[in-house]
């Protein structure tokens, strides 16, 4: 086929270019020269095939049959230290390729990386894998589109110790670094014995001789003022913080500008370093602290004033998880740590009826998604409806929206909070605490406030949320339902439900966020609504399902959790009738060894006061630590005179 011919040609080209350096390869690496190195096709899906001449493994649409995709599973891996997966792949025609991580004994797979853009040549992808405490497997999920000429191939999987942004440029694929092409000024590979003997370029830093390689950009072809060359690192996949190190040389530095930036997924640049000296005759070490709580690229940028602007050379980029300076490093927008101290509101000097305390943050640009993190502690409140809340204010100090409020009973412990918000205009956040009367007032403490660019769900940890996890703040997380005319539906809503004396005042996550519920006034008695999770793969060990539910109202019906496997369903958990005015926590132990789905079924009760709500669904490796239900209060009162039921 034409796709195979293209792959064969690309293979020969790739083999010529990808000359292996003396790099330590870890278990799970494979070049598919003669076998699959322990990688196997998941029997539940279509089978990958190794090219007859070796060199790559392929998933072709012509071999689909009735299967929906191809899944290639690695041997069991145990990488205790941080490592980097470098993947050489190709998507011919239409299709997608995903990389998942499957921890041992867990019920779901984490998505690490995805690609769906076709290419006529081989591409390089770099994916960071955090140090893991237990064994795991890597899964390559290929979905070529049905039809002739569509295929997905893997040429090489290299797993090496260290971080993906590290590079000494001795490998010909340049560790996944890319050059943003400019017709006149570009980064090139320097060094090796083949260079021009008249060149004034330096020896490589790694090997300290002419045989090594580095990257350089020269002004000899610059034609316009400040033409720019950009060398861009692979995108970081998981949160990183520490010391970025590299070596550089500059010749005729008055004629060039050299800077290092970070670039996020929204295209926002942030300069983290520029040189403080002019020309350097030797390689100079640079160390700069970075924080990458969300995906970032490192951009090495050089601009020239004229064709006589000299050159800039770069080599041996490395990273350490320890900061290189005593300071806390680069702060993304805002960070406050009250070293050894914290902020306190509502002290005995200000504790009076009607007192309102405000703590304003700085104004931040609009049209960006921000993640606000902080710790709080409460003491002495009888009711906490207005003990602490977060508002967004515009530049005129007018409150626009409440984005969070306390959702648990007052505890004399520090509690961490993460809130994502997005406003179209410049805005600032404000912490607000209200004392309604002397007896209800207490102490509010704040510490470790930080604001970073991006979604908290993406930036909080090494992995994206696994299938099934959902707090409904940004959507339904892949949960689905069959909407039929004679059946009820689960609805996503924020705030209180339309019918009085039933349903919650707000969600459990934020108090002002989203949750799912059934609206009884739209249903007939005993009608049901079913919400189904995405597919769960099953596990050999026990699993724990945790969620919060709200069943308040005189006519409340039934909430059940069902396990759907094959053509059968099994009841795991159920509650019937009114339970509480507050959100309740449910923990459900279950075991299932094969593919399955979890269904939340709400059945309408005898009256319209039968709203049922769910929020904050989480799956974790079991068994559940707390097999019973525990009460957790949520909701707030905007009106101090409101009758609280």
pLDDT digits (tens, 9 = 90+) for 549-607: 999 999 899 999 999 998 899 999 999 999 989 899 999 999 998 889 999 999 999 89
Looking at the fold, whether 178 and 283 belong to one and the same domain comes out as yes
Tens-place pLDDT, residues 264-310: 887 888 889 999 877 788 899 999 998 887 788 999 999 887 777 88
Looking at the fold, whether 485 and 532 belong to one and the same domain comes out as yes
Is residue 426 within 8 Å of residue 362, measured between CB atoms?
Answer: no
Which candidate, 398, 473, 404, 397, places its Cα nearest to that of 433?
A: 404
Is residue 208 within 8 Å of residue 200, measured between CB atoms?
Answer: no
Looking at the fold, whether 141 and 221 belong to one and the same domain comes out as no
Looking at the fold, whether 367 and 269 belong to one and the same domain comes out as no
Cα distances (Å, whole numbers) of residue 130 to 82, 294, 623: 5, 14, 25
DSSP helix/strand/coil, 255:
helix
DSSP helix/strand/coil, 56:
coil
Residue position matching structure tokens 């550089």:
248
Cα distances (Å, whole numbers) of residue 459 to 43, 426, 607: 34, 22, 44
21 domain-assigned: no
Is residue 423 within 8 Å of residue 397, measured between CB atoms?
Answer: no
Lowest-pLDDT range of 155-159, 224-228, 494-498:
224-228
Tens-place pLDDT, residues 219-264: 877 776 667 899 999 998 888 889 999 999 988 877 888 999 998 8
Looking at the fold, whether 66 and 135 belong to one and the same domain comes out as yes
Looking at the fold, whether 428 and 488 belong to one and the same domain comes out as no
Q: Tell me how many domains the chain contains.
A: 4
169 domain-assigned: no
The dihedrals phi and psi of 92, each to the nearest 5 degrees, come to -100, 130
642 domain-assigned: no
The angle subtended at Cα 74 by Cα 29 and Cα 59, nearest 5°, is: 95
424 domain-assigned: yes
Which candidate, 128, 601, 56, 633, places its Cα nearest to that of 387?
A: 633
Instruction: From 405, 424, 453, give the residue that closes a domain.
Output: 453
Looking at the fold, whether 139 and 211 belong to one and the same domain comes out as no
Question: Binning pLDDT at 50, 70 and 90, where does residue 209 land?
Answer: low
Which candidate, 113, 130, 127, 149, places its Cα nearest to that of 3?
A: 149
**How far is Cα 309 from Cα 290, in angstroms, rounded to an integer?**
29
User: Domain of 359?
Assistant: 343-453
pLDDT confidence of residue 438: 62
Tens-place pLDDT, residues 6-30: 444 343 333 333 334 446 888 999 9
DSSP helix/strand/coil, 86:
strand
pLDDT confidence of residue 611: 92
Q: What is the CATH classification number for the domain harbouring 244? A: 2.60.120.200
Is residue 160 within 8 Å of residue 83, measured between CB atoms?
Answer: yes
pLDDT confidence of residue 407: 66
Looking at the fold, whether 299 and 356 belong to one and the same domain comes out as no
Looking at the fold, whether 448 and 476 belong to one and the same domain comes out as no
For the chain, the average pLDDT equals 80
59 domain-assigned: yes
Looking at the fold, whether 268 and 155 belong to one and the same domain comes out as no
The dihedrals phi and psi of 545, each to the nearest 5 degrees, come to -105, 125
5 domain-assigned: no
142 domain-assigned: yes
**How far is Cα 559 from Cα 271, in angstroms, rounded to an integer?**
53
Looking at the fold, whether 476 and 616 belong to one and the same domain comes out as yes
DSSP helix/strand/coil, 521:
helix
Instruction: From 418, 453, 488, give the residue that closes a domain.
Output: 453
Instruction: From 429, 453, 477, give the residue that closes a domain.
Output: 453
DSSP state of 174: G
Share of the chain above pLDDT 90, in %: 33
Largest CA distance in the chain: 91
19 domain-assigned: no
Higher pLDDT, 343 or 237: 237
Looking at the fold, whether 273 and 370 belong to one and the same domain comes out as no
Residue 185 confidence (pLDDT) above 80 = yes
Strand extents, DSSP E, 527-611: 528-532, 543-551, 558-565, 568-576, 583-590, 597-603
**How far is Cα 526 from Cα 464, in angstroms, rounded to an integer?**
38
């Amino acid at each position: 086929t034409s796709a195979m011919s293209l792959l064969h040609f690309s293979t020969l080209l790739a083999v010529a270019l990808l000359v292996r350096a003396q790099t330590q390869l870890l278990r799970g690496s494979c070049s598919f020269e003669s076998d699959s190195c322990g990688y196997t096709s998941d029997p539940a899906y279509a089978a990958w095939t190794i090219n007859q001449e070796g060199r790559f493994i392929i998933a072709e649409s012509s071999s689909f049959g009735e299967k929906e995709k191809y899944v290639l599973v690695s041997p069991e891996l145990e990488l205790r230290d941080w490592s980097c997966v470098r993947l050489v792949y190709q998507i011919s025609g239409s299709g997608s390729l995903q990389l998942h991580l499957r921890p041992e004994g867990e019920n779901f797979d984490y998505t690490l990386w995805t690609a769906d853009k076709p290419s006529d040549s081989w591409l390089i992808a770099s994916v960071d894998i955090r140090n893991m405490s237990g064994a795991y497997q890597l899964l390559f999920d290929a979905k070529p589109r049905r039809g002739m000429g569509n295929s997905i191939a893997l040429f090489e999987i290299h797993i090496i110790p260290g971080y993906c942004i590290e590079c000494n440029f001795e490998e010909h694929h340049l560790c996944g670094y890319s050059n943003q092409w400019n017709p006149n000024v570009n980064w090139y590979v320097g060094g090796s014995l083949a260079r021009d003997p008249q060149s004034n370029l330096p020896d490589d830093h790694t090997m300290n001789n002419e045989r090594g390689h580095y990257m350089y950009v020269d002004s000899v072809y610059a034609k316009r003022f400040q033409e720019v060359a950009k060398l861009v690192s692979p995108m970081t996949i998981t949160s990183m913080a520490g010391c970025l190190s590299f070596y550089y040389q500059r010749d005729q530095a008055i004629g060039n500008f050299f800077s290092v930036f970070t670039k996020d997924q929204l295209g926002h640049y942030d300069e983290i370093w520029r040189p403080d000296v002019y020309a350097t005759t030797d390689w100079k070490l640079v160390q700069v602290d970075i924080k990458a709580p969300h995906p970032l690229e490192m951009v090495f940028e050089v601009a020239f004033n004229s064709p006589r602007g000299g050159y800039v050379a770069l080599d041996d980029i490395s990273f350490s998880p320890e900061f290189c300076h005593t300071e806390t490093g680069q702060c993304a927008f805002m960070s406050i740590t009250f070293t050894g101290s914290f902020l306190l509101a509502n002290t005995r000097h200000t504790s009076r009826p009607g007192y309102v305390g405000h703590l304003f943050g700085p104004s931040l640009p609009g049209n960006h998604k921000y993640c606000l993190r902080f710790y709080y502690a409460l003491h002495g409140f009888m009711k906490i409806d207005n003990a602490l809340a977060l508002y967004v204010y515009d530049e005129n100090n007018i409150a626009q929206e409440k984005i969070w409020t306390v959702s648990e009973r007052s505890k004399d412990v520090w509690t961490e909070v993460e809130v994502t918000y997005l406003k179209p205009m410049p805005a600032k956040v404000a912490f607000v605490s209200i004392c309604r009367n002397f007896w209800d007032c207490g102490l509010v403490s704040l510490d470790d406030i930080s604001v970073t660019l991006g979604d908290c769900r993406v930036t909080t940890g090494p992995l994206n949320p696994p299938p099934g996890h959902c707090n409904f703040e940004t959507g339904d997380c892949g949960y689905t339902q069959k909407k039929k005319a004679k059946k009820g539906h689960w609805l996503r809503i924020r705030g209180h439900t339309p019918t009085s004396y039933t349903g919650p005042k707000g969600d459990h996550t934020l108090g002002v966020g989203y949750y799912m519920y059934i609206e009884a006034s739209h249903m007939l008695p005993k009608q049901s609504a079913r919400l189904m999770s995405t597919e769960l793969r099953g596990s050999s060990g026990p699993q724990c399902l945790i969620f919060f539910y709200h069943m308040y109202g005189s006519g409340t019906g039934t909430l059940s959790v069902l396990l759907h496997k094959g053509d059968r369903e099994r009841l795991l958990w159920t509650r019937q009738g009114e339970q509480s005015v507050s959100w309740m926590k449910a923990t459900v132990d279950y075991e299932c060894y094969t593919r399955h789905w979890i269904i939340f079924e709400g059945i309408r009760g005898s009256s319209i006061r039968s709203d049922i709500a769910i929020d904050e669904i989480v799956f974790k490796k079991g068994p559940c630590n707390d097999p019973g239900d525990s009460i957790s209060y949520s909701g707030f009162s905007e009106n101090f005179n409101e009758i609280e039921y």
